[in-house]
């Protein structure tokens, strides 16, 4: 009951997300996935993120075997072109790149060959298919941890197959997996069910990172709309967020 009442009324003042300092999930390198389509859009989105108080953006292009077969080499090459434009346009934001890895048929090879792109202190951002967890998911995450990698699961609130069992999330946390919530999940962007799951994870104190998952100007507007959501304030005030450490 408390969760439902807590989330109904919008805040009078927007939440100050500048305290996060770093965003660690976005798609800002132009033309390499379903994110920013061109350099002009990328520069505008980064200007806007700076305006919201971010000083560092760790952008994370998709890597998936079938749809977005990006490599570390092409990501870093395109990142450098973006950084050159940021300098030329005097946009004072630090931008680095890693990846958002789909746990699919190609992931195990990248893991075994130690080709995963990490950020900060050996963090790796992963995502799952939305309808079923891969059968070897726990074996892969165990191998990642053996290699000293720190696993961040992108938007756990969006995985339909765990919605009715909070114990599954507790199991992941007990295994040392960190959770990154999409802030816009709190706006109902994906569905009311996703919003409810995001609120449950916040109530349970499970969120370690907030991410924009920024793709385009529509996502940016949704992010701005989310700034008056009470649950965003609740997670910002939780003392558990680690964005500023990246």
Q: What is the pLDDT of residues 86-143, one digit of tens each?
A: 999 999 999 999 999 999 999 999 999 999 999 999 999 999 998 899 999 999 999 9
**Strands of the sheet with 94-97, listed across from one edge:** 22-23, 56-59, 94-97
Query: Residue 70 is encoded by which pair of tokens?
Result: 């990006």
Q: CA nearest 123: which of 156, 145, 94?
A: 145
Query: Residue 225 is encoded by which pair of tokens?
Result: 């709309």
Helices 39-51, 217-226: axis angle to 10 degrees equals 10
Mean pLDDT of 55-82: 97
- Predicted confidence at residue 2, as pLDDT, reads 38
Query: Residue 66 is encoded by which pair of tokens?
Result: 């079938």
2-245: which CATH architecture?
Answer: Alpha-Beta Barrel (3.20)
Q: CA nearest 138: which of 126, 122, 120?
A: 126
pLDDT digits (tens, 9 = 90+) for 188-231: 999 999 999 999 999 999 999 999 999 999 999 999 999 999 99
Confidence band of 8 (pLDDT split at 50, 70, 90): low
Cα 171 from Cα 8, distance rounded (Å) = 30
Which SS3 state, helix, strand or coil, does residue 218 take?
helix
Cα 181 from Cα 165, distance rounded (Å) = 18
% of residues, the chain, pLDDT over 90: 95
Give the DSSP per-residue string, 133-171.
Answer: --TTHHHHHHHHHHTT-EEEEE-GGG-GGGTT-HHHHHH
Cα 52 from Cα 78, distance rounded (Å) = 25
More confident call, 173 vs 164: 173
Are 124 and 110 in contact, with CB atoms under 8 Å apart? no
- Phi, psi at residue 36, to the nearest 5°? -55, 130
Residue with tokens 């990501």: 75
Mean pLDDT of 177-185: 98
Query: Residue 155 is encoded by which pair of tokens?
Result: 């938007």
Q: Where are the domains of the chain?
A: 2-245
């Amino acid at each position: 009951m408390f969760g439902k009442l807590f989330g109904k009324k919008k805040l009078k003042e927007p939440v100050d997300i500048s305290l996060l300092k770093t965003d660690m999930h976005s798609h800002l390198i132009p033309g390499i996935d379903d994110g920013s389509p061109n350099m002009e859009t990328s520069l505008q989105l980064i200007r806007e993120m700076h305006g919201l108080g971010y000083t560092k953006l760790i952008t994370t292009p998709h890597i998936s075997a079938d749809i977005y077969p990006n490599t570390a080499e092409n990501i870093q090459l395109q990142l450098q072109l973006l950084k050159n434009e940021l300098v030329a346009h005097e946009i004072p934001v630090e931008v680095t790149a890693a990846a958002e890895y789909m746990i699919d048929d190609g992931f195990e090879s990248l893991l075994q060959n130690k080709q995963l792109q990490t950020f900060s202190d050996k963090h790796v951002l992963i995502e799952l298919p939305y309808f079923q967890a891969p059968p070897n998911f726990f074996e892969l995450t165990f191998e990642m941890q053996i290699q000293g990698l720190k696993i961040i699961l992108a938007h756990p609130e969006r995985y339909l197959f765990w919605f009715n069992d909070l114990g599954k999330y507790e199991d992941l946390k007990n295994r040392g997996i960190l959770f990154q919530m999409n802030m816009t999940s709190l706006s109902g962007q994906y569905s009311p069910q996703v919003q409810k799951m995001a609120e449950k994870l916040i109530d349970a104190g499970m969120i370690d990172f907030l991410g924009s998952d920024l793709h385009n100007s529509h996502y940016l507007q949704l992010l701005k709309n989310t700034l008056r959501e009470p649950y965003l304030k609740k997670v910002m005030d939780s003392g558990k967020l680690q964005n500023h450490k990246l």
